[in-house]
A = this chain, B = another copy of it.
Amino acid sequence: VDVLLSIGEFSKMTYLSVKALRHYHEVGLLAPTAIDPMTGYRRYASSQVQTAQAIRRFRDLDMPIDDVRQVLAATDPADRNRVIVQHLERMRQQLERTQLSVASLQALLEEEPRDRTDIELRRLPATPALVARQVVAFDACGAWLEPTLARLHTQLAIVGLTVDGPDGALYPDEFFEAGEGEVTAYVPVRAAGRATIELPATNVAVLVHDGPFNDLDQTYGALGTIVAERGIGAPGPIRERYLTPASTEVCWPITVGTNQ
């Protein structure tokens, strides 16, 4: 037996507010089974309770409405599970980042800020490298960079090139200023080959960052401040060189060379 329920009854049974139900109808996520042609009253079938509860649970986990729509539309249960698992995985990563972020923030609030003056002016020579370029959002960068560098190393092995120095990446201004930009991940190689590109030489101010990536902003702040104080800033992408998992060189473009 399938009864028709008023929006109020349906609301109590699904924990969805009346406003939310009307919204889901409007955007086509969950349409009532029947609509009274005279009064416009929405009538929901009791068989819709399960679907509505699933919607609420996904929304509680901040799954976007479009994704929820996909889950519900998937006739193939494999498709459905794929979307759900993907979202739960994103959630898990999000939780992890949040926890790291909280820990880092608490440490920051307790510590004295370090005075960083150990910068070095250096000329980065032209570097042949295997590269990968991609427009990446600021928040999505970590998740992109790691597998991409791994992939480049695999390619290197296949082509028979030899690694010549630490991995790195170039970040253009708009990556920071607009929150999205074309990032270049690279692995330097000993000899140029068909698949390689030459990164141009640049003058940079370098500051080494030791510790978790979450605190990298501190090094950017310190380095950028020193460059600005000396008035030696130059246009061009910022480069990061990943010396070890716990140590990163931040290279800020400047006008003068090492001869200063």
Contact = CB atoms under 8 A, between A and B. Distances in A.
Interface of A: 1, 3, 5, 8-9, 11-15, 17-20, 46, 49-50, 53, 56-58, 60-61, 81, 84, 88, 91-92, 95, 98-99, 101-102, 104-106, 108-109, 113, 138, 173, 176-179, 217-218, 220-221, 224-225, 228-229, 231, 233, 238
7 contacts: A3-B229, A13-B225, A14-B220, A18-B177, A49-B221, A57-B105, A60-B101
A105 B61 contact: yes
A173 B12 contact: yes
Interface of A, secondary structure class, is helix
Copy count, this protein chain = 2
A38 B50 CA distance: 62
A19 B9 CA distance: 44
Contacts of A98: 61, 91, 95
Contact of A12 (B49, B177, B229): B177
Contacts of A224: 5, 9, 12-13, 46, 49
A253 to B, nearest CB: 11
B102 A225 contact: no
A53 B218 contact: yes
Contacts of A49: 221, 224-225
A50 B15 contact: no
